[in-house]
Amino acid sequence: MSAELERLEEIILRLRSPGGCPWDREQTAASLTPSLLEEAYEVIDAISRNDSADLEDELGDLLINILMQVQIATESNAFTLKSLALNACEKLVRRHPHVFASAVAGTSDEVLTQWEEIKKAERISKSAKRAAESTEKSSLLDGVTLALPALVRAHKIQKKAAGAGFDWKCAEDVVDKVREELLEVESELATPDGSKQKERLSEEIGDLLFAVVNLARYLSVDSESALRDATNKFASRFVKMEREVGEDLSFAELSTDEMNRLWELVKSRETV
Tell me the domain boundaries of the chain: 3-87, 95-138, 150-221, 227-270
Question: Taking 80 as the threshold, does the pLDDT of residue 65 lie above it?
Answer: yes
What pLDDT does residue 135 have? 60
Give the whole-number percent of the chain exceeding pLDDT 90. Answer: 67
Band (100; pLDDT cuts 50, 70, 90): very high
Mean pLDDT along residues 130-145: 71
Report the C-alpha gap between 69 and 84 in whole angstroms.
11
Question: Taking 70 as the threshold, does the pLDDT of residue 272 lie above it?
Answer: no
Q: Give the largest CA-CA distance in the chain.
A: 72
Question: Taking 90 as the threshold, does the pLDDT of residue 259 lie above it?
Answer: yes
205 in Cβ contact with 183 (< 8 Å): no
Question: Taking 80 as the threshold, does the pLDDT of residue 192 lie above it?
Answer: no
Side-chain half-sphere CA neighbours of 139 within 13 A: 9
**pTM for the predicted model, two decimal places:** 0.61
**How does pLDDT run across 213-257, given as a tens digit for each residue?**
999 999 999 998 899 899 999 999 999 999 888 777 888 889 999
**How does pLDDT run across 171-183, given as a tens digit for each residue?**
999 999 999 999 9
Domains 3-87 and 150-221 alike in fold: yes
Domain at 3-87: CATH architecture: Orthogonal Bundle (1.10)
Domain at 150-221: CATH architecture: Orthogonal Bundle (1.10)
